Structure 1
Amino acid sequence: MIVIEKILSKEDVSAFRQQLTNAPWGDGSKTAMGMAASVKNNNQADANDISVRQLANQLLSRIGETPKIVSAALPNKIFPPCFNRFSETQEYGYHVDAAIMRMPDSSEVLRSDMSMTTFLSEPEEYQGGELIISTEFGQQSIKLPAGYAVVYPSSSLHKVTAVTQGQRIAAITWMQSMISDATIRQNLYQLDQTIQALIKEDKTSRTELDNLHNVYHNLIRQFAQL
């Protein structure tokens, strides 16, 4: 579970919110599959609306430009972001994301390895609405500033608690990683973050950094599925 700071600036968030205010919204439960549909009570922006598509593409670009997300997920495919809204009393009970998703307007499918929620409402704008993720270390409660995101395994049971006051707006997406094994993917992320930290410290020789880069990329070459 990795927090991404400021994937969207305050100006970006304001622009997204303004466009979403004028976008058409529908019953979010109609976009869920299987058992998730029975516990999903929110609204979702119409993914076929041109303004919503433009926002989704903007966020997709930011994902590709954010090194920490690329390092954490090593994405091969990314589902176009969807925008959801939780008003008072709305919630999304415990569920697991579908393992296989069909890409919009395509016969191509995606295996959901990593999920990402990007917050578009400030925490003080609403009460409740926490993203709760079940992990091996217990339940993790997440409520981040607008423009921040969290990336977590799609295999995790998770929920959004009921909003008791205000409104919670967020974007969600899913990624198929080039590395299907979660443990290997986590180890590669830790290795890459260590390399980046050593580069910033500027105390490690170029030869040693090249050797670490060599190990990192050869591991990706060994385990990547394309």
Structure 2
Amino acid sequence: MLITIDNLFSKEESENILQKLLSENWQEGKLTAGGVAAQVKQNLQLDDTSATATEVRSNIFHYLKQHPTFISAALPNKIFPPKFNCYRSGGHYGLHVDNAMMTLPDGGYMRTDISATLFFSSPDTYDGGELMIETQYGAQAVKLEAGSMVLYPSSSLHEVRPVTRGNRVCAFFWIQSLVRESSHREQLYELDQSIQSLTLERGAQDHNVARLTGIYHNLLRSRGET
């Protein structure tokens, strides 16, 4: 399931963040890649400990925890602290799959169920840089407006096409979901979206809305894990 979340940040917020990020000192992205990924990765990455990275990361967490679409689609259990990358001058990231397990800053581990890319550069300011995600319906090209985000299964083959003009600046991170199986998350998401629509139409006290809500929570109970 590939889901876009528009306007997590406003255009003004995104532009302010972009300027702060671009003023930072960037390091070679290969320094944080291992194995096959290091052979196909050509980009820049921000030092995770910088004051700007810390500030923007906190803002991202603030918006994520209160965004209903993100909660519904991801059912987050753990979120890897967002990182920041920049593609320019032909920078790209060849076809790859994200690591199945990540080491958290506190030394613990998390499973990567969902990958997220949050765009800070407006698409008209750079050429190329499409995030290509392999799906059951073929490769999907993603190049979103500044402040918008895409969620997709971490098991997906994906790549970032070369950026031939401008700067493509994004945050990226991973989510361990309460529901491990992608198809189960998709079913729960579709059910939840239908319940929300019916609630607006009929009200929360409607008998069928209450029944569907019960079905949703019983499905989540049977398929969820902590």
Partners of 1:21 and 1:159 lie apart in 2 by 22
After TM superposition, the structure 1 = structure 2 runs for residues 158-197 of structure 1, keeping only pairs within 5 Å, are: 158-197=158-197
Map 1:54-69; keep pairs closer than 5 Å: 54-69=55-70
Shift of 1:44: 0.7
**Aligned residues with identical type, % of pairs:** 42
What's the counterpart of residue 110 of structure 2? Answer: 110
1:157 counterpart residue number: 157
**1:7 corresponds to 2:8:** yes
- What are the Cα deviations for residues 183-222 of structure 1, in whole angstroms up to 9, with x where unaligned? 1111000000111111222378622111111111111111
Q: CA contact under 8 A between 1:128 and 1:165: conserved in structure 2?
A: yes
TM-score by length of structure 1 reads: 0.96
**Corresponding residue for 1:101?**
102
Secondary structure at the residue paired with 1:98?
coil
Aligned residues: 225
CA displacement 1:73-92 (0-9 Å, x = unmatched): 10100001111100121100
| Contact 1:84-1:169 within 8 A present in 2 as well | yes
Give unmatched runs, 5+ long, in structure 2.
none
Partner of 2:121: helix, strand, or coil? coil
Give distance in 1, aligned partners of 2:205 and 2:47.
52
User: Following the alignment from structure 1 to structure 2, what is the Cα–Cα distance between the partners of residues 174 and 203?
Assistant: 35
Q: Deviations over 1:35-93 (max 9, x none)?
A: 11111100011101122111111111211111111111101000011111001211000
The offset of 1:107, in angstroms, is: 1.7
Determine the C-alpha separation between the residues in 1 that align with 2:83 and 2:107: 19
The alignment's TM-score, normalised by the length of structure 2, stands at: 0.96
Is this contact kept in 2: 1:87–1:168, CA < 8 A?
A: yes
Counterparts of 1:221 and 1:166 in 2: how far apart (Å)?
A: 47
Matches within 5 A, 1:54-93: 54-93=55-94
Task: Decide which moves more: 197-206 or 121-130.
Answer: 197-206
| CA distance in structure 2 between the aligned counterparts of 1:2 and 1:131, rounded to whole angstroms | 13
The Cα shift of 1:167 comes to 1.1
Structure 1 runs not aligned, ≥5 long: none
Cα contact 1:24–1:49 (8 A) shared by 2: no
CA distance in 2 between counterparts of 1:206 and 1:142 reads 38
- Corresponding letter in the other structure for 1:24: N
When structure 1 is superposed on structure 2, of 14-23 and 181-190 the one drifting more is: 14-23
Deviations 1:110-155 (A, max 9, x none): 1000001111111110111000001111110111110111100000
